[in-house]
């Protein structure tokens, strides 16, 4: 209340603000204007802030994703075909059984890696189910608790659903959008994405080991091999020669000998460096993904929970449920039970 110059009083009255819930269609009376509010009946969250329009760079993002997919597919084919061309003549020269064994191993790893890559790239990441909304008789009490409305798809969006502006769709349990597969990772293909990472890591490690094994057999005979062998023997028997000196001499000998390496050997060296680099990167990504699954989260839910007290239930049961293992397996693994009890305390 404020007193005017004439001695009268002016009273400020806050009028109630009416809004409509998108979930159940009821008219809500709010004490004041609120850009974001939650319906007391259905639990839906209404956001009245202006919607940011989708950018016009959709075509550029899709073109970028297609380029990444092509690069990754060409790299995988190069590792497979280049490794077969460079390594397997050496392996077959050792023995026929050795060559056949590695041919079967390569065929299995290549098939699993390429098939999981195709699945995760072309399978739907997870479309949220259609839910009735907008009518009060049809929407029950708490039926849309913490649901929001996606203005791009014009559909309800659950708390674990996110809209991807690159794919232009809402994705259930969205983890992230991966440009290297040209697709989102969500409830529909998350399991295939983990299988692709596991298969790719095993394949790159196998390729690196085979490259080293083949390069050793391709290199020309090293000069003064007997001298280096005796030097190693002296080091093994505790001679005065230092281990560092022996390793340095042998390394320089191999480097000098590598000058005479063939084109096949150069391909093997490149495959080794590329395979090790990719294996390290994919191993870090795989460990991160498994850590989020262990915590019962996705990458986006992990980002949204930072700075808050919200924390998922850390349990190995999350890993078992994710991979579709029977619940009875947990009781046959004492280590899993101990870990679960430890987190509950």
Residue 258's H or E segment, with its range, is: none
Q: Which residues touch 69 (CB under 8 Å, ≥6 apart)?
A: 121, 180, 181, 182
Q: Which of 197, 211, 274 is nearest to 84 (CA)?
A: 211
Strand-pairing partners, residue 36, are: 47
The alpha carbon of residue 14 and the mean position of all alpha carbons in its chain are separated, in whole angstroms, by 51
Contacts 24+ apart (CB under 8 A), 159-163: 160/298, 160/301, 161/128, 162/300
Residue with tokens 């430890």: 342
Asked if 81 is an active-site residue, the reply is no
Assign residue 123 a region (left: φ > 0; alpha: ψ between -120 and 50; beta: otherwise). beta
Which of 24, 167, 178, 211 is flagged as catalytic?
A: 178
Instruction: Give the whole-angstrom CA distance, residue 271 versus residue 36.
Output: 54
Q: Pairing mode, if any, of strands 183-185 and 176-178?
A: antiparallel
Please give the positions annotated as active site: 178
């Amino acid at each position: 209340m404020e007193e005017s110059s004439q001695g009268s009083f002016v009273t400020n009255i806050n009028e109630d603000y009416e809004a409509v819930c998108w979930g159940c269609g009821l008219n809500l009376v709010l004490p004041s204007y609120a850009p974001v509010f939650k319906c007391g009946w259905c639990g839906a969250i209404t956001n009245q802030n202006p919607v940011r329009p989708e950018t016009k760079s959709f075509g550029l993002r899709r073109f970028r994703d297609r380029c990444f997919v092509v690069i990754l597919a060409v790299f995988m084919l190069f590792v497979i075909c280049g490794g077969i061309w460079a390594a397997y003549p050496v392996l077959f020269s050792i023995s026929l059984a050795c060559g056949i064994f590695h041919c079967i191993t390569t065929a299995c790893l290549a098939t699993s890696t390429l098939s999981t890559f195709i699945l995760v790239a072309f399978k739907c990441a997870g479309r949220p189910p259609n839910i009735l909304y907008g009518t009060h008789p049809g929407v029950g009490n708490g039926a849309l608790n913490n649901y929001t409305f996606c203005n791009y798809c014009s559909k309800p969006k659950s708390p674990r659903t996110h809209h991807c502006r690159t794919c232009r769709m809402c994705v259930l349990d969205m983890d992230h959008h991966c440009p290297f597969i040209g697709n989102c990772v969500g409830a529909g293909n998350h399991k295939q994405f983990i299988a692709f990472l596991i298969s790719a890591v095993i394949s790159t490690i196998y390729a690196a080991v085979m490259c080293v094994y083949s390069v050793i057999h391709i290199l020309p005979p090293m000069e003064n091999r007997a001298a280096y062998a005796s030097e190693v023997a002296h080091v093994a028997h505790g001679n005065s020669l230092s281990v560092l000196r022996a390793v340095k001499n042998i390394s320089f000998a191999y480097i000098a000998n590598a000058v005479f390496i063939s084109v096949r050997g150069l391909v093997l060296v490149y495959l080794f460096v590329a395979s090790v680099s990719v294996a390290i990167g994919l191993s870090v990504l795989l460990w991160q993904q498994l850590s989020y699954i262990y915590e019962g989260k996705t990458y986006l839910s992990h980002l949204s929970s930072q700075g808050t007290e919200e924390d998922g239930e850390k349990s190995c049961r999350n890993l078992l449920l994710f991979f579709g293992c029977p619940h009875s397996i947990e009781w046959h693994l004492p280590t899993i039970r101990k870990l679960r009890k430890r987190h509950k305390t």
